[in-house]
Structure formats: structure tokens, C-alpha cells
Amino acid sequence: MNTETIDNIKMIAETAREFAEKNIRPNIMEWDESQTFPKDLFHELGEMGFMGIVIPEQYGGSGLGYHEYVTILDEISQVDPSIGLSVAAHNSLCTNHIYEFGNEEQRNKWLPQLASGKVIGAWGLTEHNTGSDSGGMSTTAVKDGDEWIISGAKNFITHAISGDIAVVMTRTGEKGAKNNSTAFVLEKGMPGFSSGKKENKLGMRASETAELIFDNVRVPDSHRLGEVGEGFKQAMKILDGGRISIAALSLGTARGAYKAALKYAKERHQFGKSISEFQAINFMLADMATEIDASELLIQRAATLKNAKQKMTKEGAMAKLYASEACVRIANNAVQIFGGYGYTKDFPHRTKVLSAIFYLYKFLRCEDQDRFQKTKYDV
């Protein structure tokens, strides 16, 4: 990166950090306890340019690259990974899918609303019985004149209740057939389109996760993204960028845990000195710092390839796999450094992220898929 880019990233990091400290940190305990999705906060994030980060300015976005995107997710997730997760899902899944595969009319219709944060985006692939196996999806779309009738349900969908627009993968062919998936944009308010059960999660509770339900929803053909049968290919390309998102989210969560643990280790005294001076704690902190740097380097490599529009499936999978596993190890070590206080929510409230991340990375890491992407390219 050149000097101008580095300076720009530093400025963006400072802006994101100040916003998170002022608008997120004072509320994280309340949002976590009540499982509140703070929708108004995302309108403010849109005003900051953080809801259409990589979307070109002509569509109302910020026109930034993936290095800046990673920086913003890192800073927000250091304070509250729940908010970082929602920013990531809105940007890299729903909004980016429309940008990458929508036509000009579709881009102009939906992207400015999404980039402004005035509407929240969701992305539906996972189902109750099939996970991410789109070839076996039960959600179907059947052509009826100039419309499609969509029936089925999706689960574990971020922003399923509060989202205004959803990109949904459907099955438009027989189960197991090749090229049998097609993507559509659905808008809340369409008859038959509703939300279902909200998950009572162990962590990431301020990031809303629930069902999407489609009861014979009639969708105009103009809401179809790309050609019929291309939905799975589109989803796989979107998930390449999504892996950078989760890696950056892992990086920020890990960095937040490390900073909290380091501060506490310097303040906590035993036997006449701070526990940071004990070799066991010192080595633990050194390992944490090393894994954070290693994660960041892998993420930045994937971001560089993504900016250059080069294939980065392997590199993205490696970054996400390593960063997410490192995050769990770092959070676990941070809990150990805090001792008994590491298992409480109210000392200090920022350390609540330490107990929350175990749910996130067990569920979202998709470890087998990431390892498959590595071995697929002879790593």
C-alpha cells in the first residue's frame, strides 16, 4: 500500500474507533441483556458511510476497498462483535450480492437505500435441514407468467426480523440437479413474506438471528438477480468476500479481548507486583499478540487480492480459518488472565465479548468448508 492509502486507513480507523467508543460501548451490556438489535444505530452507521463501504459512490456507497472495510470491522468488533457481525452481514452479503450480480436498474433501485443505512439487508441461504447445501434446498421458486412463486423457509438469518430487503437463494430445479438455484431480492411487505422464530443465542445477542418464511410469495421477475440457475455460483463468490468479513470480525474480537486482558494484567497485583510480570502471564500475552499479527497479515493478503479482483478463495478461507480459531484461543486466554472475573458480565462490561465469541465461531466458522477450500487448491 502507498503512503496515501495508509494515511487514509489510519484516518478511517480513528473515525470508526471514536464512533464505537461514543455510540456503542456505553450500550453493549443493555443490548446484550435484552437481545436488542439497535436499528437506529445502523442508520447512524449509514451516515458515516459504513453501510456501503465497498459500493461505488455512484450508487451511494463510500467507494472504499477491502483494506478499509477490514479496518472498520476490526475497530467496531473490538468494542462489540455483535455490531461488527451485523455490519459485515449487511455489507458483504446482501448489499454486495446486489452490486455484484444485479443489473443497473436493480443497483440503482436498492443500493442507495442500503448504503445509506435507511434500510437493513439480509441474506438467505441456510435452511433447517440442508444447511448451506443449496442443491438440496427446500425453498423453491416456480415461474408463473411474469412472476415467481417462492415457498419455504430459511433459518439462522441475520436481520431476518428487522431487515427491509433480503437476497434469497431458491431452488428452481430438481433436488441434486446441476445449476438448480436462483437468487431473488425480496422486500418486507410482500404478501406471504414474514419472519419466524428469533434465536435465543448464547452470544452475539445484539445481532438479530431468526427465520425467514415464504408462504407463496409472488415476486416479479425483475427481482431476479442474474440468470436462472446461477444462484449457487453467485453465493459461492459472495462467500469469498464473506470469509474476509468473518476473519476481520475475528481479528477485532481477538484484539479487543487482548487489550482488555493486557490492561487488567498490568492493573492486577499479586505478591507485590502486577501479574503481567509473571512469566506464565507474559508468555500468554506474547502468544496472543503474535496470533493477532498473523491473523492480520493473512487477512490483508486476502483483501489485497480481492481489491485487485483476483481469485482469492483459498486465501480467504485460510484467513477466516486461522483468524477465527486464533480468536477462540485468545479469548480463552483472556478469560484465564481475568481469573474468576473473566466469567462475569459486569467486570468491566467490555469483557462480555470474551464469553460471547465462543458461540459465534463455533457456529459461523464453517471449519470443514474452509479446510476444503484450502485442500481444493493443493495447500
Which pLDDT tens digit goes with each residue over 42-73? 999 999 999 999 999 999 999 999 999 999 99
3-state secondary structure at position 175: coil
What pLDDT sits at residue 19?
A: 97
Q: Please report which helix (H) or strand (E) contains residue 89, including its range.
A: none
What's the mean pLDDT in 253-264?
Answer: 92
Whichever domain contains 290, its CATH number is: 1.20.140.10
| Residue 253, amino acid | T
Whether 237 and 346 share a structural domain: yes
What pLDDT sits at residue 6?
A: 82
Inform me whether the pLDDT recorded for 369 exceeds 60.
no
Whether 27 and 47 share a structural domain: yes
- For residues 111, 113, 119 and 124, what is the CA-based torsion angle, rounded to 10 degrees? -20
> Domains in the chain: how many in total?
3
What pLDDT sits at residue 376?
A: 55
| Residue 336, amino acid | Q
Backbone angles phi, psi at 31, to 5 degrees: -65, -40
What value does the CA radius of gyration of the chain take, rounded to a whole number of Å? 21
Distance CA 198, CA 189 (A): 19
3-state secondary structure at position 41: helix
Provide the mean pLDDT of the chain.
89
Are the C-beta atoms of 326 and 295 separated by less than 8 Å? yes
Q: Quote the domain boundaries for residue 11.
A: 3-120
Distance from CA of residue 48 to its chain's centroid? 18
| Residue 177, amino acid | A
Whether 82 and 162 share a structural domain: no
Q: Worst-scoring range by mean pLDDT, 28-32, 220-224, 307-311?
A: 28-32
Distance CA 288, CA 290 (A): 5
In terms of pTM, does the model score above 0.75? yes
Last residue of a domain, one of 120, 142, 160: 120
Confidence of residue 350 (pLDDT cuts 50, 70, 90): very low
What pLDDT sits at residue 178?
A: 82
Inform me whether the pLDDT recorded for 335 exceeds 90.
no
Whether 55 and 88 share a structural domain: yes
Are the C-beta atoms of 175 and 331 separated by less than 8 Å? no
Burial of 134 (0-12, 13-18, 19+ CB in 10 A): buried
